Structure 1
């Protein structure tokens, strides 16, 4: 969960509740909660109305890890990430129609492996990876066009492994290595 507001009496939103449920599920999967304790805390989260209720339901859980999973979605239009941004371990990109441009050349990549799942209907996608990255596109299914990727000269020399999976309907994926 992101940091909670100072006021424990502030009303929660649905995304606050969803993040709290996700945090409980993660703690249960990691063995920090018994089945019975999970049921009790899940009931508390689902009936919570204020941040104070959520805080008590999440108390004694280990500190939350930095975000390792993120989703970017758009029904139509452009999805663009460039410049300095933090790349999660797992990134899912959903787009029914439109262009996708992910530029990881100046992004902060903290993981040795990054999984990018593309769920694209129509439109092009372009991914710029770090100069020294290794790219794996074996798990990507394309419907109409092919994938354009040529490993760079310095590809795979100590950089992260970028694994691209998912499905693309009508469009082309172009992957290139950054110049710098």
Structure 2
């Protein structure tokens, strides 16, 4: 019997989905391609099924990739990320006079835990989580603003992204919430 017909484990499926998410983060796959391939990966039965999903992608690197940290820095502008964007494992945001809007509700988040480190002098930060996400803000210090999480739980939950927010917002605050519900009238 060929190795391609051997049955795969959940760990094999997970490894393939991580490789697909990495390819999406690198711009090699579109969102519909990612969603289709992940659906097929999660239901794959054999190594041949999984191999067919990744043969057109570069092989995983033999050497470790550089640490997945993105640093966004501005002096006067507003830092904003929303829509379909790839969230790094660690995000550091530095802003002297501007604010920060990070909307994770439609983003691709390949990591179960995302670390966000804020260094804000005069601006505030608003972080919108995907539904069900959780956030720990115990590591945030604000001298003149407030840190609020509303109805967002602070402890991790199985299957949901957990965001750990640290840093300072000297004269501003930090707000963490879920997306606002949109009401449509006919």
Structures share fold, TM-score greater than 0.5: yes
Secondary structure of 1:86's counterpart equals: coil
Report if aligned partners of 1:131, 1:179 keep a CA contact under 8 Å in 2.
no
Query: 2:168 matched to 1:167?
Result: yes
Aligned pairs for 1:6-17 within 5 A: none
What TM-score does the superposition give when structure 1 sets the normalisation length?
Answer: 0.60
With over 3 angstroms needed to count, the CA separation of the structure-2 counterparts of 1:149 and 1:100, relative to structure 1, is same
User: Structure 1 regions of 5+ residues with no counterpart?
Assistant: 1-60
Match of residue 129 from structure 1: 129
Deviation at 1:62, TM superposition (A): 3.4
Residue 134 of structure 1, CA deviation? 1.1
Task: Verify the 8 A CA contact 1:80 1:102 in the aligned structure 2.
Answer: yes
Q: Does 1:105 align with 2:114?
A: no
1:64-103 paired onto structure 2 within 5 Å: 65=65, 68-103=68-103
1: CA distance between counterparts of 2:170 and 2:176?
Answer: 17
Specify which structure has the higher proportion of strand.
1
Aligned equivalents of 2:132 and 2:158: distance in 1?
5
Q: What is the number of equivalent residue pairs in this alignment?
A: 119
CA distance in 2, matches of 1:87, 1:168: 21
Counterpart in 2 of 1:177? 178
CA RMSD of aligned residues (A): 2.2
Looking at structure 1, the residues matched to 114 and 161 of structure 2 have their Cα atoms a distance apart, in angstroms, of 7
